[in-house]
Amino acid sequence: GVNPGVTPAKFREGIESDTVGQLIRRVDVAVGDFHYLPAGTVHALGAGVLVAEVQTPSDTTYRVTDWGRGREIHVDQSMQCIHFTPTDDAAPGAAGAAGNRLIDTPFFTVDRLTVAGPDTPVPVSAGRCTALMFVGGAGPISIDYGRGGALEARPGDTVLVPAALADVSVSAAAGCTFLRITLPEQ
Protein backbone atom coordinates (compact mmCIF):
# COMPACT_ATOMS: atom_id res chain seq x y z
CA GLY A 1 0.00 0.00 0.00
CA VAL A 2 0.93 3.65 0.00
CA ASN A 3 2.62 5.48 2.85
CA PRO A 4 0.34 7.50 5.18
CA GLY A 5 -0.38 10.97 3.84
CA VAL A 6 0.18 10.10 0.17
CA THR A 7 -2.54 11.75 -1.90
CA PRO A 8 -3.58 10.80 -5.43
CA ALA A 9 -1.92 13.99 -6.74
CA LYS A 10 1.34 13.23 -4.94
CA PHE A 11 1.24 9.63 -6.19
CA ARG A 12 0.67 10.70 -9.82
CA GLU A 13 3.60 13.10 -9.49
CA GLY A 14 5.71 10.20 -8.14
CA ILE A 15 4.80 8.05 -11.15
CA GLU A 16 5.66 10.82 -13.59
CA SER A 17 8.98 11.64 -11.89
CA ASP A 18 9.90 7.94 -11.40
CA THR A 19 10.06 8.37 -7.61
CA VAL A 20 6.90 6.40 -6.81
CA GLY A 21 8.95 3.74 -4.99
CA GLN A 22 9.50 6.26 -2.20
CA LEU A 23 5.72 6.54 -1.69
CA ILE A 24 5.06 2.81 -1.23
CA ARG A 25 5.30 1.11 2.17
CA ARG A 26 8.10 -1.40 2.59
CA VAL A 27 7.32 -4.48 4.66
CA ASP A 28 9.91 -6.96 5.89
CA VAL A 29 8.82 -10.54 5.25
CA ALA A 30 9.87 -13.94 6.53
CA VAL A 31 9.25 -17.49 5.36
CA GLY A 32 5.70 -18.49 6.29
CA ASP A 33 4.28 -14.97 6.52
CA PHE A 34 0.82 -14.30 5.14
CA HIS A 35 -0.26 -10.85 3.96
CA TYR A 36 -3.71 -10.03 2.62
CA LEU A 37 -3.65 -7.29 -0.01
CA PRO A 38 -7.17 -6.32 -1.08
CA ALA A 39 -7.72 -5.40 -4.72
CA GLY A 40 -6.42 -1.89 -5.36
CA THR A 41 -3.43 -2.24 -3.02
CA VAL A 42 -0.18 -1.16 -4.69
CA HIS A 43 2.40 -3.90 -4.23
CA ALA A 44 5.70 -5.21 -5.54
CA LEU A 45 8.08 -8.00 -4.58
CA GLY A 46 11.70 -7.49 -3.64
CA ALA A 47 14.57 -9.61 -4.92
CA GLY A 48 14.56 -13.17 -3.62
CA VAL A 49 10.93 -13.14 -2.42
CA LEU A 50 8.81 -16.10 -3.50
CA VAL A 51 5.05 -15.90 -2.95
CA ALA A 52 1.97 -18.05 -3.31
CA GLU A 53 -0.51 -15.50 -4.67
CA VAL A 54 -4.23 -16.07 -4.27
CA GLN A 55 -6.41 -13.41 -5.87
CA THR A 56 -9.88 -12.65 -7.08
CA PRO A 57 -10.29 -13.39 -10.78
CA SER A 58 -8.57 -10.74 -12.87
CA ASP A 59 -6.28 -10.72 -15.85
CA THR A 60 -5.24 -7.10 -15.43
CA THR A 61 -1.94 -5.75 -14.13
CA TYR A 62 -1.27 -2.02 -14.10
CA ARG A 63 2.29 -0.83 -13.60
CA VAL A 64 3.08 2.41 -11.78
CA THR A 65 6.82 1.83 -12.24
CA ASP A 66 8.87 -0.72 -14.10
CA TRP A 67 12.06 -0.42 -12.05
CA GLY A 68 14.05 0.46 -15.18
CA ARG A 69 12.91 -2.48 -17.35
CA GLY A 70 11.30 -0.38 -20.09
CA ARG A 71 7.79 -1.88 -20.05
CA GLU A 72 4.64 0.21 -20.40
CA ILE A 73 3.46 2.25 -17.39
CA HIS A 74 -0.32 2.59 -16.87
CA VAL A 75 -0.77 5.95 -15.16
CA ASP A 76 -4.47 6.71 -15.77
CA GLN A 77 -5.67 3.12 -15.31
CA SER A 78 -3.66 2.74 -12.08
CA MET A 79 -4.94 5.98 -10.62
CA GLN A 80 -8.54 4.79 -11.08
CA CYS A 81 -7.89 1.54 -9.16
CA ILE A 82 -5.54 2.42 -6.31
CA HIS A 83 -6.84 2.64 -2.75
CA PHE A 84 -5.05 5.52 -1.04
CA THR A 85 -6.14 4.63 2.48
CA PRO A 86 -3.08 3.11 4.20
CA THR A 87 -3.34 -0.62 4.86
CA ASP A 88 -3.13 -2.23 8.29
CA ASP A 89 0.38 -3.11 9.46
CA ALA A 90 -0.72 -6.47 10.86
CA ALA A 91 -0.10 -9.66 8.93
CA PRO A 92 -3.02 -11.81 10.12
CA GLY A 93 -1.23 -15.04 9.26
CA ALA A 94 2.33 -14.22 10.22
CA ALA A 95 4.59 -17.22 10.71
CA GLY A 96 3.78 -18.90 13.99
CA ALA A 97 0.27 -17.43 14.29
CA ALA A 98 -2.16 -19.71 16.09
CA GLY A 99 -4.79 -21.54 14.07
CA ASN A 100 -5.01 -22.75 10.50
CA ARG A 101 -7.37 -20.15 9.04
CA LEU A 102 -5.34 -17.38 7.42
CA ILE A 103 -8.22 -15.43 5.93
CA ASP A 104 -11.89 -15.73 5.03
CA THR A 105 -13.12 -13.27 2.40
CA PRO A 106 -16.33 -13.19 0.36
CA PHE A 107 -14.22 -14.43 -2.59
CA PHE A 108 -12.06 -17.21 -1.09
CA THR A 109 -10.84 -18.79 2.12
CA VAL A 110 -7.19 -19.70 2.79
CA ASP A 111 -6.09 -22.24 5.40
CA ARG A 112 -2.51 -23.34 6.13
CA LEU A 113 -2.32 -27.03 6.99
CA THR A 114 0.67 -29.14 8.03
CA VAL A 115 0.40 -32.91 7.86
CA ALA A 116 1.11 -34.37 11.31
CA GLY A 117 1.67 -38.00 10.38
CA PRO A 118 1.64 -40.39 7.44
CA ASP A 119 -1.98 -41.45 8.00
CA THR A 120 -3.34 -37.97 8.66
CA PRO A 121 -6.14 -37.20 6.20
CA VAL A 122 -6.16 -33.80 4.55
CA PRO A 123 -9.71 -32.42 4.55
CA VAL A 124 -11.13 -31.42 1.17
CA SER A 125 -14.75 -30.25 1.06
CA ALA A 126 -16.84 -32.25 -1.38
CA GLY A 127 -18.86 -30.08 -3.71
CA ARG A 128 -16.59 -27.03 -3.38
CA CYS A 129 -13.83 -26.02 -5.74
CA THR A 130 -10.55 -26.34 -3.84
CA ALA A 131 -6.96 -25.54 -4.76
CA LEU A 132 -4.13 -27.15 -2.82
CA MET A 133 -0.83 -25.25 -3.03
CA PHE A 134 2.02 -27.30 -1.58
CA VAL A 135 4.45 -24.86 0.03
CA GLY A 136 6.80 -26.96 2.12
CA GLY A 137 8.03 -30.32 3.27
CA ALA A 138 9.31 -33.30 1.39
CA GLY A 139 7.88 -36.51 0.09
CA PRO A 140 5.03 -37.41 -2.20
CA ILE A 141 1.53 -36.07 -1.87
CA SER A 142 -1.16 -38.40 -3.16
CA ILE A 143 -4.53 -37.19 -4.37
CA ASP A 144 -7.01 -40.03 -4.90
CA TYR A 145 -10.00 -38.83 -6.87
CA GLY A 146 -11.89 -42.10 -6.95
CA ARG A 147 -12.62 -44.46 -9.81
CA GLY A 148 -9.04 -45.74 -9.58
CA GLY A 149 -7.47 -42.38 -10.40
CA ALA A 150 -4.70 -40.79 -8.40
CA LEU A 151 -1.89 -38.36 -8.95
CA GLU A 152 1.32 -37.43 -7.20
CA ALA A 153 2.34 -33.89 -6.33
CA ARG A 154 5.38 -32.37 -4.66
CA PRO A 155 6.12 -29.10 -2.89
CA GLY A 156 5.80 -26.23 -5.36
CA ASP A 157 2.86 -27.84 -7.16
CA THR A 158 -0.73 -26.63 -7.12
CA VAL A 159 -3.60 -29.06 -7.60
CA LEU A 160 -7.14 -27.98 -8.48
CA VAL A 161 -9.89 -30.20 -7.08
CA PRO A 162 -13.11 -29.48 -9.02
CA ALA A 163 -16.38 -29.19 -7.10
CA ALA A 164 -17.80 -32.06 -9.18
CA LEU A 165 -15.46 -34.58 -7.54
CA ALA A 166 -17.39 -35.80 -4.52
CA ASP A 167 -14.97 -38.50 -3.34
CA VAL A 168 -11.48 -37.06 -2.96
CA SER A 169 -8.85 -38.01 -0.41
CA VAL A 170 -5.44 -36.43 0.03
CA SER A 171 -2.51 -37.89 1.94
CA ALA A 172 1.02 -36.60 2.32
CA ALA A 173 4.25 -37.24 4.15
CA ALA A 174 4.55 -35.91 7.70
CA GLY A 175 5.64 -32.28 7.72
CA CYS A 176 4.21 -31.37 4.31
CA THR A 177 2.63 -27.93 4.48
CA PHE A 178 0.15 -26.54 2.05
CA LEU A 179 -2.40 -23.82 1.54
CA ARG A 180 -5.98 -24.95 1.02
CA ILE A 181 -7.93 -22.36 -0.95
CA THR A 182 -11.68 -22.82 -1.21
CA LEU A 183 -14.29 -20.81 -3.03
CA PRO A 184 -17.60 -19.94 -1.37
CA GLU A 185 -20.50 -22.31 -1.79
CA GLN A 186 -22.73 -21.36 -4.70
* DSSP secondary structure of 126-142: TTS-EEEEEEE--S-EE
CA 41 to chain centre: 13
Question: What CATH number is attached to the domain comprising 115?
Answer: 2.60.120.10
Of 68, 97, 126, which closes a domain?
A: 97
Of 73, 97, 121, which closes a domain?
A: 97
pTM across the whole model: 0.78
Number of other CB atoms surrounding residue 75 within 10 Å: 15
Domain hosting 154: range is: 101-182
Pair (79, 108) in one structural domain? no
Pair (113, 54) in one structural domain? no
Pair (164, 122) in one structural domain? yes
Q: What is the pLDDT of residue 38?
A: 83
Q: What is the pLDDT of residue 89?
A: 55
Residue 78 parent element (H or E): helix 75-81
Tally the domains of the chain: 2
Pair (1, 93) in one structural domain? yes
Pair (54, 12) in one structural domain? yes
pLDDT tens per residue across all 186 residues of the chain: 899 999 999 999 998 898 988 999 988 888 888 888 888 888 888 888 888 888 877 777 788 887 778 888 888 888 888 888 876 655 555 555 555 889 888 888 999 988 877 666 677 777 788 898 988 887 777 777 766 666 777 778 888 888 887 667 777 777 888 899 998 876
Pair (2, 74) in one structural domain? yes
Q: What is the pLDDT of residue 99?
A: 57
Distance of alpha carbon 122 from alpha carbon 147, whole angstroms: 19
Residues that are catalytic: 63
Q: What is the pLDDT of residue 119?
A: 63
Of 49, 77, 97, which closes a domain?
A: 97
Pair (49, 131) in one structural domain? no
Strand arrangement, sheet containing 101-104: 101-104, 109-114, 177-182, 130-136, 158-161
